[in-house]
């Protein structure tokens, strides 16, 4: 019986990494709420400050409050329809299958994950949702009629790292507090950090980048070449040692980011080979 291929992981932020801008800004805020992006986020910041609360919970509350005022549909199906129209960076839709095939040729079992402060329901409606093992993102709480009534999960810049440890130990259920806190020796964990790569673009990705990079994995700063603020953010992430690599947000075959991903997979496969050759022989004569 053949042995299962070693797991490897590419984990991604969503907004600014796989898709331009914030997902709520493409239609929901301007078209359905009738607000400017600036006004919405300023009001979110005010709520968080006044309540001494989490900005992620504040924006989710404000989305629902403003939507109820306008009688906007809040069902799961409605969120999925909104997500279906999210714009993506060039080449994103072909990226996942290509990297997975490359990994398989190298003897790896590559899985893709989202770790985002954006809305899980929107990402689940997107054209690329089917490629992810899990979508870890801020999520609404739904009532018996399947309408969003509050926040079930908020994923902020520090809590993002929790999901890397879930992947590391392969205890993937968000609600499972017991499994994630069990002691598992590093050499027994399903996905060592040196077989992980994290792709992000900004402030909320810094803890994930540092964790993966410091544990021997790869942290990649993705930037939109047409927006100077995005380019500057990537430069700063590199300068500050948060990211070790950077590439512009072009996921097309043959792009610099695609070549980088191919090289990272080759490194991961090489580590697996070196590790297996370096193990002491087992058995009574060892």
Beta bridge mates, 142: 148
Give the chain's length. Answer: 286
Q: How confident is the model at residue 276 (pLDDT cuts 50, 70, 90)?
A: low
- On whether the CB atoms of residues 23 and 118 are closer than 8 A, the answer is yes
How do the domains of the chain map onto residue ranges? 7-21+88-274
Residue 263 host element (H or E): helix 256-277
- Backbone conformation region of residue 172, classed left if phi is above 0, alpha if psi is from -120 to 50, else beta: alpha
Q: What is the pLDDT of residues 179-236, one digit of tens each?
A: 888 899 888 899 999 999 999 998 889 999 999 999 999 999 999 999 999 999 999 9
> Which tokens sit at 222?
């993705």
pLDDT at 277: 52
Give me the pLDDT at residue 283, please. Answer: 46
Which helix or strand (DSSP H or E) is residue 265 part of? helix 256-277
CA distance 128 to 100: 14
* Residue in the block written with tokens 């990297």: 99
Q: What is the CATH number of domain 7-21+88-274?
A: 3.40.50.1000
Query: Which H or E run includes 77?
Result: helix 76-84
Per-residue model confidence (pLDDT) at position 156: 92
Q: Is 286 helix (H, G, I), strand (E, B) or coil?
A: coil
Give the angle 218-220-222 at the CA atoms, nearest 5°. 165
Percent of the chain scoring above 90 in pLDDT: 86
Q: Coil, strand or helix: which one is 69? A: helix
CA distance readout (Å), 57 to 2, 136, 158, 174, 196: 47, 15, 14, 17, 29
């Amino acid at each position: 019986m053949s042995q299962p291929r070693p797991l490897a992981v590419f984990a991604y932020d969503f907004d600014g990494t796989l898709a331009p801008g914030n997902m709520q800004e493409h239609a929901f805020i301007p078209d359905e709420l009738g607000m400017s992006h600036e006004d919405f986020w300023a009001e979110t910041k005010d709520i968080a400050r006044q309540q001494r609360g989490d900005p992620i919970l504040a924006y989710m509350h404000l989305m629902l409050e403003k939507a109820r005022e306008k009688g906007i549909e809040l069902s799961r199906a409605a969120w999925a329809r909104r997500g279906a129209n999210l714009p993506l960076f060039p080449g994103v839709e072909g990226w996942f299958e290509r990297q997975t095939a490359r990994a398989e040729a190298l003897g790896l079992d590559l899985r893709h994950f989202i770790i985002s402060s954006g809305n899980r329901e929107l990402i689940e409606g997107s054209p690329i949702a089917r490629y992810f093992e899990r979508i870890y993102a801020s999520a609404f709480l739904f009532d018996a009629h399947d309408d969003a009534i509050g926040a079930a999960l908020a994923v902020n810049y520090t809590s993002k790292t929790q999901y890397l440890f879930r992947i590391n130990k392969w205890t993937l259920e968000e609600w499972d507090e017991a499994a994630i806190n069990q002691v598992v020796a590093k050499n027994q964990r399903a996905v060592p950090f040196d077989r992980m790569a994290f792709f992000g673009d900004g402030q909320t990705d810094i803890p994930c980048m540092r964790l993966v990079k410091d544990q021997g994995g790869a942290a990649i700063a993705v930037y939109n070449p047409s927006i100077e603020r995005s380019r500057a953010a990537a430069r700063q992430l590199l300068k500050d040692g948060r990211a070790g690599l950077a590439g512009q947000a072009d996921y097309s075959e043959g792009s610099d980011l695609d070549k980088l991903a191919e090289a990272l997979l080759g490194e991961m496969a090489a580590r697996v080979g070196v590790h297996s050759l370096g193990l002491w022989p087992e058995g009574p004569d060892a």
